[in-house]
Amino acid sequence: MRTILEISLGQLIMNKAKAYFELLKFRLSLLVAFSSCFGYALATYGQINWGVFIMLFFGGLLVSGASVTINQIIEKDLDKLMKRTADRPLPTGRLSIDEAKFFALLTGIAGMTMLYVSTNLLTVALSFISLLIYSFVYTPLKRVGPIAVLVGAIPGALPPLLGWVAYTGSIGFEALIIFGIQFIWQFPHFWAIAWVADDDYKIAGFKLLPSKGKKDLNTAINIMIYTLFLIPLGLLPAKFGFTGINSAIIVTVCGALFLSQTFGLMKDGSRKSALKIMFGSFLYLPIVQIAYLLDKV
């Protein structure tokens, strides 16, 4: 029979493992890894090296995990103030700052090493720059003003470009197009989240909304305009011939549906309408990327 000590030790290990997994922000890091692999698969035109693909996936996942861990270390005291983040491992004391620092260092080095051995130096360099911008520029700027959204959109849009560069070794116009689509997508995505989480964000001093941080018609119009830009941007891959007409149709329909959600926010300015935009943004990006892949790969 297992002793009480063995059971307690096993439970402690399980609790620690769960806390580290939470620190990784798996869903966010998974989106980063998926977007990187999307860019790689699109660049290969279906001639995928699965060894590189898998290393790129896990490398991107780990580098993203390092970035969000550093973010949580810096914002530990702020996370305590907000309902949506108060249960994270650092505010609750389930992990110490030193444990989180070691985890960030370990995941960052492991991720960069995977990218180094499987891709090229440009991919590694851009990944490192992305980590630095997200962790040490975007994170503190969140308390300065909406300029943080512009800055945060850069590392947020780099994953598909990194995937393209991982295969080609260079930044071509195709890479810039898929970067541009994800860059513009960041604005309605970020602002919808900021609208929904406004009460929490105000407590922490985060200032992400435009229009002087107000949930007003001007902010709703900003969200609508950036969402509108996604429609012509989404057609550029077909225009330049690295995807086809089928994905162009799907992307246009998705863009129109995404845009239609912004009209509700402009009309009533409600949290419910902002939630619809937020969830719409979560659906838009993977659907569009999958459409591009199925059309060309």
Do 196 and 183 have their domain in common? yes
Do 28 and 165 have their domain in common? yes
Do 202 and 230 have their domain in common? yes
Which residues, in sequence order, are CB contacts of 177 under 8 Å at separation 6+?
233, 236, 237, 240
Over 90: is that where the pLDDT of 208 sits?
yes
- Mind listing the pLDDT tens digit for each residue in 127-152? 999 999 999 999 999 999 999 999 99
Over 60: is that where the pLDDT of 7 sits?
no
Do 35 and 155 have their domain in common? yes
Do 249 and 141 have their domain in common? no
pLDDT computed for residue 1 by the predictor? 47
In a domain, 10, yes or no: no
In a domain, 1, yes or no: no
pLDDT computed for residue 266 by the predictor? 96
Confidence of residue 47 (pLDDT cuts 50, 70, 90): confident
The pLDDT of 69-82, averaged and rounded, is 96
Domain final residue, candidates 171, 190, 208: 171
pLDDT computed for residue 221 by the predictor? 96
Over 60: is that where the pLDDT of 5 sits?
no
The pLDDT of 179-189, averaged and rounded, is 97
Residue for token digits 């580098």? 63
- Mind listing the pLDDT tens digit for each residue in 210-235? 988 889 999 999 999 999 999 999 99
Domain final residue, candidates 137, 171, 205: 171
pLDDT computed for residue 4 by the predictor? 61
In a domain, 8, yes or no: no
- Mind listing the pLDDT tens digit for each residue in 237-253? 999 988 999 999 999 99
Angle between helix 217-239 and helix 173-196 axes, rounded to 10 deg: 160
In a domain, 5, yes or no: no
CATH code (residue 90):
1.10.357.140
Domain final residue, candidates 171, 203, 236: 171
pLDDT computed for residue 296 by the predictor? 72
The pLDDT of 164-172, averaged and rounded, is 96
Do 250 and 272 have their domain in common? yes
pLDDT computed for residue 199 by the predictor? 92
Do 231 and 281 have their domain in common? yes
Written in H, E and C, the secondary structure of 72-138 is: HHHCHHHHCCCCCCCCCHHHHCCCCHHHHHHHHHHHHHHHHHHHHHHCCHHHHHHHHHHHHHHHHHH
In a domain, 283, yes or no: yes
**What average pLDDT is seen over the chain?**
94
Range of the domain at 67: 17-171
7 or 181, which is more confident: 181
pLDDT computed for residue 27 by the predictor? 92
Please tell me the total count of domains within the chain: 2
